[in-house]
């Protein structure tokens, strides 16, 4: 048995962190009645979304009926599995909770019927329904979110992860310096499942974890890793080395593209080398657009090849010396605007679908109108909140738009 399975939480009280989220889960279940919204747990992999449902079930003796939306994707599959389970009593006589896991595994138009089937289950179920996903704000899930109460699990806190790893070491009789466990936790950036797997890889069958044991994990800080990837791509003179470095890294291709784009002028001092590199990136960007529009993932090799090997071979000769690479400005802007973009998505879901308008039309026409109305008529705020269901934060965003 793997340590992930061995130390799977048996109770909500066994969880490392996520106290507020677990309290919301328990309170939602206790107050749920037929016709109420489902609960939508979302956050990065390894944060305990699925485990929390099973832990709740063990605490109060529930039967969990699980459907994985990534496997059972279409309308007929979901109706046959979750639909029938949501209407029938458990064979054991226990109360039941329906878990539809990984709903973001549905792939847009191809599985659109799957989303409508899930909505039908939520509307008609006799038992509470919980959904999970990494990203609940994907456009394909917009209609589904209207029937859900969202709970953001987020990444497990570093201190909670470290404490949990230390507890496992104590139970396994393995001595480990707290600093080494913290390094394992930090490497996995909030993914508890991955951190336990890494711990098992270096600790199973051992009496002690040593600093050199972490090298077996290819241990690297994630921020340092991207600097190493960039250094290889910019310094190498071979296409294969550049492509292999990108493929072996954990960076999302789009994020890697932004890092390369930002740092070409930092690395290449000759104008002609910069021009050639940017030309390769523009070609890569064309393939990225085609991939998204056509959903043709076979083109990904050309996208990655142009932005890595193409940029690497754009220079006439290798540049020596140290280069200080900068994080992409786009990532900083995305980070600062993340909360605003989520709020904007929520407003569009409420206003856009009510009036059947696009996001751009809402911002261009409706926002200015509502802003003027808010300035001149105090009742407008009441209308926006009561009739359109906007929160105070959403109203304030319109006022300051």
- Condensed to tens digits (0 to 9), the pLDDT of residues 198-217 reads 898 888 888 898 887 777 66
Last residue of a domain, one of 276, 297, 327: 327
- Based on the fold, state whether residues 280 and 334 are members of the same structural domain: no
Give CA separation, 352 vs 20, 118, 139, 393, 396, in Å.
Answer: 31, 22, 13, 17, 18
Same domain assignment for residues 77 and 126:
yes
CATH number where 205 lies: 1.10.8
**pLDDT by residue (tens digit) across 223-235?**
446 887 888 899 8
In a domain, 7, yes or no: no
Residue 165 lies in a domain: yes
**Helices and strands, counts by H and E, the chain:** 22, 7
Residues 199 and 277 in one domain: no
291, with CB counted inside 10 A (0-12, 13-18, 19+), is middle
Indicate whether 5 belongs to any domain: no
pLDDT at 39: 94
Residue 312 pLDDT > 90, yes or no?
yes
pLDDT in tens, 149-182: 999 888 888 888 999 999 999 999 999 989 899 9
The structure's pTM equals 0.53
Structure tokens at 177: 């310096």
Do 197 and 246 lie in one domain? The reply is: no
Question: Is 42 part of a structural domain of the chain?
Answer: yes
Is 142 domain-assigned? yes
Q: Are residues 307 and 360 in the same domain?
A: no
Last residue of one domain, picked from the residues 327, 346, 377: 327
* Cα–Cα dist 150/137, whole Å: 10
Domain-located, residue 1: no
Cβ 4 vs Cβ 31: under 8 Å: no
Residue-level pLDDT at 22 = 92
Range of the domain at 199: 158-217
Per-residue confidence (pLDDT) for residue 223, from 0 to 100: 47
State whether 54 and 119 are in the same domain.
Answer: yes
Inform me whether the pLDDT recorded for 338 exceeds 70. Answer: no
Number of domains in the chain: 4
Whether 147 and 170 share a structural domain? no
Listed ranges 27-31, 230-234, 394-398; the one with the highest mean pLDDT:
27-31
pLDDT, average across residues 84-103: 78
The answer on pLDDT for 271 being more than 90 is yes
- Look at residue 167 in the predicted model and tell me its pLDDT: 92
Is residue 231 situated within a structural domain? Answer: yes
Q: What's 151's DSSP letter?
A: E
Domain CATH number, residue 136: 3.40.50.300
Please tell me whether residues 73 and 146 are part of one structural domain: yes
Same domain, 91 and 146: yes
Q: Are residues 106 and 66 part of one domain?
A: yes
Residue 341: helix, strand or coil by DSSP?
A: helix
Average pLDDT, the chain: 82
As a whole number, mean pLDDT of residues 93-119 equals: 75
CA distance 93 to 363: 52
Asked if the structure places residue 12 within a domain, the reply is no
- CB contact at 8 A, 398 and 371: yes
pLDDT band, residue 109 (cuts 50/70/90): very low
Specify the pLDDT at position 220: 46
Contact 82, 68 (CB under 8 A): no
Same domain? 65 vs 123: yes
pLDDT band at 14 (very low <50, low <70, confident <90, very high): confident
CA dihedral 330, 246, 224, 45 (to 10 degrees): 80
**Residue range 373-386, pLDDT digits in tens:** 888 787 888 888 88
SS3 306: helix
């Amino acid at each position: 048995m793997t340590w992930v399975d061995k130390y799977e939480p048996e109770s909500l009280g066994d969880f490392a962190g996520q106290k507020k989220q677990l309290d919301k889960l328990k309170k939602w279940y206790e107050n749920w009645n037929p016709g109420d919204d489902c609960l939508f747990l979302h956050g990065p992999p390894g944060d305990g979304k699925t485990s929390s449902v099973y832990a709740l079930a063990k605490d109060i003796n529930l039967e969990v009926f699980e459907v994985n939306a990534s496997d059972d994707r279409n309308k007929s599959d979901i109706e046959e599995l979750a639909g029938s389970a949501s209407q029938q009593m458990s064979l054991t006589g226990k109360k039941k909770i329906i878990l539809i896991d990984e709903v973001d595994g549905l792939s847009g138009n191809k599985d659109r019927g799957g989303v409508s089937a899930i909505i039908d289950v939520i509307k008609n179920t006799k038992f509470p329904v919980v959904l999970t996903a990494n990203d609940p704000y994907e456009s394909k899930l917009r209609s589904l979110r209207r029937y859900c109460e969202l709970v953001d699990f987020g990444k497990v806190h570093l201190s909670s992860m470290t404490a949990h790893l230390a507890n496992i070491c104590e139970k396994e009789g393995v001595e480990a310096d707290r600093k080494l466990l913290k390094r394992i936790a930090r490497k996995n950036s909030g993914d508890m499942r991955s951190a336990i797997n890494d711990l098992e890889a270096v600790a199973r069958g051992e009496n002690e974890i040593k600093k050199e044991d972490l090298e077996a994990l290819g241990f690297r800080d994630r921020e340092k890793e991207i600097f190493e990837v960039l250094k290889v791509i910019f310094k190498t003179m071979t296409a294969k080395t550049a492509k292999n470095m990108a493929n072996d890294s954990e960076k999302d291709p789009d994020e890697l593209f932004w890092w390369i784009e930002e740092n070409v002028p930092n690395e290449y001092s000759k104008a002609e080398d910069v021009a050639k590199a940017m030309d390769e990136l523009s070609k890569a960007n064309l393939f990225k657009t085609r991939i998204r529009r056509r959903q043709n993932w076979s083109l990904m090799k050309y996208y990655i090849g142009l932005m890595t090997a193409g940029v690497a071979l754009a220079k006439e000769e290798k540049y020596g010396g140290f280069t200080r690479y900068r994080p992409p400005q786009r990532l900083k802007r995305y980070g600062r605007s993340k909360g605003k973009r989520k709020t904007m998505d929520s407003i569009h879901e409420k206003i856009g679908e009510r009036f059947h308008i696009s996001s751009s039309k809402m911002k261009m026409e409706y926002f200015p109108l509502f802003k003027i109305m808010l300035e001149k008529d105090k009742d407008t705020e009441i209308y926006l909140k009561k009739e359109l269901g906007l929160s105070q934060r959403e109203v304030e965003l319109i006022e300051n738009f």
